Chain A
Amino acid sequence: MKHYVLIRINTNKKSKVILKLNKINVDIRNVRYEDKAIILEVLSEDLKRIKKYLLSEKVEIIGDTGVYEAKRVIKNNMQLIVSVIFGLLVFLVLSNVVVKVNVVHQSSEIRQLLSDALEERGVKPLTFKKSYQEYEDVITDIKNAYKDKIEWLEIDVQGMVINVRVEERIINEDKQEDANCHIVAAKSGVIRSILTEKGVAMVRLNDFVKKDDILINGEIMLNEEVKNNVCAKGEVYAEVWYKVGVSLPLDYVEEEYTKKMRFNFMVKDKNEEYVILKSRVKEKEVKNVLLFKLFNLEFYLQKEYEVRRVNKTYTEEEALNKAKELAYEKMAIKSNKQTDKIHEKYLKKNINNGNLDIDMFIAIEEQIGVKKYYSISESDTDVE
């Protein structure tokens, strides 16, 4: 791109100057004639020649043209431009930041519940605002998570403050309370303790019960006649039995930390994670520390801890203990309850192709009573 500069030639003999410029083959454009000067644009590379040939005239540069003028203006006003851009950025950032989340509800329990739920989903003070769709997703998510507690939820963004309005779900349980029910056995087992609050206990300690046997009766009998019907209430603990099979490989790989740790950076959007620097650690375990969030992007500092993988083998005793742990874990999932172990027995224990296979019999004490509703006219209905 040709660089034209704006010059002023102070002279009374304008025609002579133009003729001279013509003689020395200087390109000129946008010539303006003033009282005792000519203002014109010439190529910057011709400037030396002009000054050389117009010795008796004063030639001064008064500006640039086009892009060069823009560059000069930007350079001269750099501080102002930087301040304005910085100000705009600060304004943009601040106008997108949440400083307060107000949950509007009378009940402090609901307010606390909702505050925690919102915080878990990233709606908390000193974070960036989310889009309308994201707030809608948060609302749907919270509503699904607390179906029994939240009837209606609204997130209203007002400037830097978020107002969350909520309606509590009130479940009318009168009908259920009025309904008649028995406590029946959910599993087979031997009764170990009974605590009856309502109804008549039908079993005694050390009785063996089968699944669906009535443990606490909702029918209050007198002289073989039903005098009253209630919803039986109480807790019945019984010894129940599980048979659990576990197979555990004797060889395993253990990760040991070396003392080497390297930093890295990671940017995460909704679906993807982008590591900025090339990783300098081969075998590693990564821990992420959130630095800041910008719109939908999250910037993390990564700590890459080098690990060494060591092949190890369990001794028989270790393997047995580990297999037992696994069996209990498996059983806890199966029974879905925290239980008290009564006794355990290995049914099978052998090592096959580097694997330890065990079958265990475990007896535990757990609550087996569940409500079973019935109507007086008809027989059994729902089991809760």
Chain B
Amino acid sequence: MRIMKNLQNFLLDQDYYIDIFNNCLHVYYYMEMVSLSDKQIELKLKEFTLVIEGENLLVSAMDNHEILVKGIINNVRFVR
């Protein structure tokens, strides 16, 4: 999957990717994790802050640029 993402990133040259699934959310190229709780996660991206709200939110995997959040996602907001 990462190969595909890298390829897409290379071809489309985007600053970030956000994939939303039924009960997980995958963010590619975030800059910083601002806050983390089981009800809200705030991720700082290049031009805005992404606020994920829900229940039982958990970080399943994470590295410098990429994060996978699992849980019941109720709301995803862009705060500029």
The answer to whether B35 and A27 touch across the interface, beta carbons within 8 angstroms, is no
The answer to whether B62 and A19 touch across the interface, beta carbons within 8 angstroms, is no
Chain B's interface size range is 10 to 19
The answer to whether A28 and B58 touch across the interface, beta carbons within 8 angstroms, is no
The answer to whether A31 and B58 touch across the interface, beta carbons within 8 angstroms, is yes
Q: How far is the CB of B76 from chain A (nearest CB, A)?
A: 19
- Chain B stretch 28-63: residues in CB contact (< 8 A) with chain A: 32-33, 35-38, 58-63
Known: A15-B36, A15-B37, A15-B38. Is A22-B58 also a contact (CB below 8 A)? no
A335 at interface, CB cutoff 8 A: no
Q: Which residues of A contact B35 (CB under 8 A)?
A: 19
Q: How far is the CB of A340 from chain B (nearest CB, A)?
A: 95
Q: How far is the CB of B38 from chain A (nearest CB, A)?
A: 7
The answer to whether B36 and A27 touch across the interface, beta carbons within 8 angstroms, is no
A33 at interface, CB cutoff 8 A: yes
A204 at interface, CB cutoff 8 A: no
Mark contacts of A108-126 with chain B using CB atoms, 8 A cut-off: 1 yes-contact digit, 0 otherwise: 0000000000000000000
Known: A18-B59, A31-B59. Is A25-B36 also a contact (CB below 8 A)? no
**A contact residues, total (Cβ < 8 Å):** 13
A330 at interface, CB cutoff 8 A: no
Q: Which residues of A contact B62 (CB under 8 A)?
A: 18, 21-22, 27-29, 31
Residue on B with the closest CB to A28? B62
Residue on B with the closest CB to A19? B36
Residue on A with the closest CB to B70? A31
The answer to whether B63 and A31 touch across the interface, beta carbons within 8 angstroms, is no
A30 at interface, CB cutoff 8 A: yes
Q: Which residues of B contact A19 (CB under 8 A)?
A: 33, 35-36
Mark contacts of A13-48 with chain B using CB atoms, 8 A cut-off: 1 yes-contact digit, 0 otherwise: 001101101100101111101000000000000000
The answer to whether A33 and B61 touch across the interface, beta carbons within 8 angstroms, is no
Q: Which residues of B contact A29 (CB under 8 A)?
A: 60-63
B22 at interface, CB cutoff 8 A: no
The answer to whether A25 and B37 touch across the interface, beta carbons within 8 angstroms, is no
B14 at interface, CB cutoff 8 A: no
Q: Which residues of A contact B60 (CB under 8 A)?
A: 29-31
The answer to whether A25 and B61 touch across the interface, beta carbons within 8 angstroms, is no
How many Å lie between the Cα of A16 and that of B60 in the bound state? 15
Q: Give B residues with C-beta under 8 Å from A.
A: 32-33, 35-38, 58-64
Q: Can you give 10 contacting A-B residue pairs, CB < 8 Å? A: A15-B37, A15-B38, A18-B33, A19-B33, A22-B32, A22-B62, A27-B63, A29-B60, A29-B61, A31-B62
Which 9 pairs of residues, A with B, have the shortest CB-CB distance? A27-B63, A29-B61, A15-B36, A22-B33, A18-B59, A19-B36, A28-B62, A31-B60, A15-B37
If A28-B59, A30-B61, A31-B59 are given as contacts, then 12 extra A-B residue pairs at C-beta distance below 8 Å, sorted by A number, are A15-B37, A16-B36, A18-B36, A18-B59, A21-B62, A22-B62, A28-B61, A28-B63, A29-B63, A30-B60, A31-B61, A31-B62
